[in-house]
Structure 1
Amino acid sequence: MLLRLLPPLRWAGEWARARGLGGCTELTLLSRRVSGSFSGYQLTAPKSVPVQEGHSVFIPCRVYCPWRFWSNFPPAWGSWFKKEARYDRDPPGATNHPSREALKETEGRFHLLGDPRSYNCSLRIKDARKTDTGVYFFRVERGDDVKYNYRWDHLCVFVTETPDVHIAGTLESGLPGNITCAVPWPCEQGTPPAFSWTGANLTSTLGPETPRSSVLTITPEPRHHGSNLTCRVTFPGVSVAVERTVQLSVACECRPGLEHPSDSTVSLIKKPQRISSHNGPFPSLGALPSP
């Protein structure tokens, strides 16, 4: 009797928790997400990993291979490549293969900490740079039997950048005006960032929102001329947030005594977060201690 080949099993879950270790962010697995592309070959890793520029991040990863190929010998070699790379000619970002050299721009910063022979493909990125942003795939090699690229299980790494705040046209007293806050978001999957606005007490509403941007519509008054408005972007899962503050310029005939806004503040936060207010500087991750 011929048996039908069943598709690989899939487990649904989330990588939902992280803890900051000084300048290093360590992701922790709460439940598992595995998606197999070929029977027996599966990889478990976060779908999106944010990291601040100059900081470090530890990315847990588990790799699975058909058991019949997984004996004690020969050794297993693993490599992380950018999605657009050719594994047969381009250098990897990180590898434990003795005959492969890593990319010059990642050498000494990207480290494959896990041993694929022990089903471990964990990656550590130190001193993150903007050029590290991208989608990565893992390749495992073991003797002549195992040579496989996990192209269906991508890892998206993005180095957070200060948001860009754009004011459309000139703000005029008594008239609505749009202000857009945007950040790069290269990941096709994963939870997008959350936007929040903090500024002087003024009439405002949240407009259209996308995974990359938030639009705030305000109706300024003469007293808001010269006041500050802050857009803060928080990346879920890890203690990473970036912000930018702009000074409002309101076109009006401001009389003496009306130039300064009141001391009250209001925060508008993109769902699903709660409305809150904030005074003073936002906390940030500390620097990673030298090894």
Structure 2
Amino acid sequence: MQLEFWLLFLCVQVIPHVQSAKKTWTVSVPPRIPALQSCCVVIPCSYSYPDANRKGIQHWWRGFWKKGNQIISTNLPHRELSKEYRQRTMFLGDLRSRNCTMLLDGVRSTDTGPFYFAIELSLGMRFSYIKNAVTIDIIREPKPPSLSVQVSDKITASCSVTHSCPAMPPKLSWNHRGSITQRSKKRNEWKWEMVSTVTFTPLLSDFNKTLTCTVKYRGGKVAQNSTIIHI
């Protein structure tokens, strides 16, 4: 899936480092995340375990994302996964930093979950966060992107869309040439926003022409929004 390029980015950006250990088994995950069918979704996750700062040294951390009894993702490189999820998931988190983030690619209508995280530590500690499961709300078709236009000596148009897969964000494009800038912004723990802005000096030939923003998602789904240029 060529996701290795994004591993470092996600470990830093998707979820903050846990500052202090708690005395109980705790996990922080969103209970529900919307995801576009055939696209990808990142489930942000951080965990804590009892006496995390005690003198005993942990030599290894084994993390598992599960659906029922099926293992769908793990940080163990040679562990066999459920056939349904083989080559569709990637364990993005660094367990030493208590980050258990997971990516699910090629989202299917059956990928609703619930999914939960389980951890095994080298000092004989293990726990399953079954009560903190994540449900995926499958969206069959994307909504049109938001579109706004400002007209003065130049035309500045902005197109934005929210998504839940910062590893492979949607691609935005315009049907008009101009100076184009793009930025990505984190809205909350699981929602990201992609914004594309085009600026150009209008010509008389642009009068009453359609300006269109097109968004293409991982997996191939496409959505558009258009406006008429009034000079």
Q: TM-score, normalised by structure 1?
A: 0.41
% identical equivalent positions: 25
User: What per-residue deviation string (whole Å, max 9, x for no partner) do you get for residues 41-85 of structure 1?
Assistant: 111122211111111122221111121568553210000011xx2
Residues of 2 paired with 1:130 and 1:76: CA distance? 32
Residues of 2 paired with 1:47 and 1:99: CA distance? 29
Which residue of 132, 138, 163 corresponds with 2:111?
A: 132
User: What per-residue deviation string (whole Å, max 9, x for no partner) do you get for residues 194-238 of structure 1?
Assistant: xxxxxxxxxxxxxxxxxxxxxxxxxxxxxxxxxxxxxxxxxx956
1:143 partner amino acid: S
2:218 partner amino acid: A
Q: Are residues 1:41 and 2:20 paired?
A: no
Residues of 2 paired with 1:104 and 1:69: CA distance? 39
SS at 2:133's partner residue?
strand
Residues of 2 paired with 1:68 and 1:238: CA distance? 33
* Alignment correspondent of 1:286: 217
Q: TM-score, normalised by structure 2?
A: 0.50
Shift in CA distance, 142/95, structure 1 to aligned 2, threshold 3 Å? same
Q: How many pairs align? A: 143
Give 1:287 deviation, angstroms. 3.3
* Alignment correspondent of 1:148: 127
Give 1:99 deviation, angstroms. 6.2
Q: Are residues 1:77 and 2:82 paired?
A: no
Q: Structure 2: 5+ residue runs without aligned partners?
A: 1-12, 143-189, 194-211, 221-231
Q: Structure 1: 5+ residue runs without aligned partners?
A: 1-26, 33-37, 164-235, 240-280
Q: Which has the higher contact order (CA 8 A, sep 6+)?
A: 2
Residues of 1 paired with 2:137 and 2:116: CA distance? 14
* Alignment correspondent of 1:108: 87
Q: Is the 8 A contact 2:24 2:49 kept in 1?
A: yes
Q: Is the 8 A contact 2:71 2:82 kept in 1?
A: yes
Residues of 2 paired with 1:130 and 1:284: CA distance? 22
Which residue of 25, 35, 38 corresponds with 1:54?
A: 38
- Which segment drifts farther, 101-110 or 91-100? 91-100
More helix as a share of residues: 2
* Alignment correspondent of 1:92: 71
User: What per-residue deviation string (whole Å, max 9, x for no partner) do you get for residues 230-271 of structure 1?
Assistant: xxxxxx9567xxxxxxxxxxxxxxxxxxxxxxxxxxxxxxxx
Superposition RMSD in Å: 3.8
User: What per-residue deviation string (whole Å, max 9, x for no partner) do you get for residues 77-132 of structure 1?
Assistant: 000011xx23xxxx301012356321111111111111222201001111111121
Residues of 1 paired with 2:215 and 2:57: CA distance? 45
